Amino acid sequence: MPGIDECLLEAMLVPGARGAAVVDWISGLALGSVGEPSGSDHEATAAETAELARMATEYGAFAPEEPAVDDDSGKAKGPPVEDLIVTTRTGYHVVRFVETTFDSSVFLHLWLDRELGNLALARLRLSDLAERLVLG
Count of CB atoms within 10 A of residue 102's CB? 5
Environment class of 122 (CB within 10 Å of its CB; exposed 0-12, middle 13-18, buried 19+): buried
Query: CB 36 → another protein: shortest distance, Å?
Result: 18
Query: CB 133 → another protein: shortest distance, Å?
Result: 4
Q: Comparing C-alpha atoms, which of 91, 79, 119, 118 is closest to residue 35?
A: 91
Nearer to another protein, 60 or 89 (CB): 60
Query: CB 105 → another protein: shortest distance, Å?
Result: 7
CA gap 126, 48 in Å, rounded: 20
Query: CB 90 → another protein: shortest distance, Å?
Result: 28
Nearer to another protein, 2 or 74 (CB): 2
Which residues of the shown chain bind another protein in the complex (CB under 8 A)?
A: 1-5, 7, 22, 24, 26-29, 31-32, 43, 47, 57-58, 60, 63, 68, 80, 98, 100-106, 132-136
Nearer to another protein, 48 or 119 (CB): 48
Q: Comparing C-alpha atoms, which of 120, 91, 78, 99 is closest to residue 25?
A: 99
Query: CB 45 → another protein: shortest distance, Å?
Result: 13
Nearer to another protein, 120 or 135 (CB): 135
φ and ψ at 99, to 5 degrees? -100, 120
**Element (H or E) spanning 80, and its range?**
none
Nearer to another protein, 14 or 92 (CB): 14
